[in-house]
Amino acid sequence: MKVVVDFDLCESNAVCMNIAPEVFEVRDDDFLYILNETPEPALHEKVREAAERCPKQAITLEG
User: How many degrees, rounded to 5, is the angle at CA 8 between CA 5 and CA 13?
Assistant: 70
- The arithmetic mean of pLDDT across residues 13-27, rounded, is 98
Residues 21-49: pLDDT tens digits? 999 999 999 999 999 999 999 999 999 99
Identify the pLDDT of residue 40.
Answer: 98
CATH for 19: 3.30.70.20
* Integer CA distances (angstroms), 25 to 45, 46, 52, 63, in order: 17, 14, 17, 22
Q: Average per-residue pLDDT in the chain?
A: 98
Share of the chain above pLDDT 90, in %: 100
Number of domains in the chain: 1
Calculate the CA 15 to chain-centre distance.
8
User: Domain of 31?
Assistant: 2-62
Identify the pLDDT of residue 27.
Answer: 97
Q: How do beta strands 32-34 and 24-26 pair? A: antiparallel
